[in-house]
């Protein structure tokens, strides 16, 4: 199995090198990441495609989060990485473009003595017809979540969501 690397950066996003993914998460090293949130417009308003992380994930198992998220590989654009992970996590293909709408820096202490310290790019796309075949080692469940209901759930039950999701949602709602 190939060792997965993350791209280390400074707070301005300048690349500093590579580090093995789990080592970076144990140390809390700042690295590049992205969060994809697909949405659709319906007669009842905007809905977001959310996933519940598989219990076996290395952190945040069982929590709800954006459509997919991960880390770009060295030399891979955020858009390429987002499209790749949509396929790997959610079994979604046919997305040809993602829009990078925001970047934010966050640090969160997680379960399993891991730390997320990421410069996270928020990637979005409006979709209509979508085939979803999630990878069961990545995703326990998924659903289309109406915007108003999702915003309320994030406020009333924040423990049900990943550490980064509320910030992702804030940027997407403002978009």
What residues are labeled active site?
Answer: 69, 118
> Can you read off the two tokens belonging to residue 61?
């198992």
Do the annotations mark residue 59 as ligand-binding?
no
Do the annotations mark residue 23 as ligand-binding?
no
Residue 166 to residue 168: CA distance in whole angstroms: 5
Span between the terminal Cα atoms of the chain, in Å = 39
Do the annotations mark residue 109 as ligand-binding?
no
Do the annotations mark residue 71 as ligand-binding?
yes
Q: Please state the residue numbers annotated as binding site.
A: 25, 31, 71, 89, 116, 118
Q: Please state the residue numbers annotated as binding site for Mg(2+).
A: 89
Q: Please state the residue numbers annotated as binding site for Mn(2+).
A: 25, 31, 71, 116, 118
């Amino acid at each position: 199995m190939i060792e997965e690397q993350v791209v280390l950066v400074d707070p301005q996003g300048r690349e500093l090198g590579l580090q093995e993914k789990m080592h970076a998460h144990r140390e809390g090293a700042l690295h590049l990441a992205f969060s994809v949130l697909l949405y659709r417009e319906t007669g009842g308003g905007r809905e977001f495609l959310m996933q519940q992380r598989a219990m076996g994930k290395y952190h945040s198992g069982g929590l709800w989060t954006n459509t997919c998220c991960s880390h770009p590989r060295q030399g891979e654009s955020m858009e390429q990485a987002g499209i790749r992970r949509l396929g790997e996590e959610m079994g979604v293909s046919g997305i040809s473009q993602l829009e990078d709408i925001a970047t934010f820096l966050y640090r969160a202490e997680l379960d399993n003595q891991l730390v997320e310290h990421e410069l996270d790019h928020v990637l979005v796309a409006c979709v209509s017809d979508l085939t979803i075949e999630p990878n069961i080692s990545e995703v326990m469940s998924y659903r289309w979540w109406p915007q108003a209901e999702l915003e309320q759930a994030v406020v009333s039950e924040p423990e049900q969501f990943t550490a980064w999701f509320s910030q992702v949602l804030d940027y997407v709602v403002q978009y």
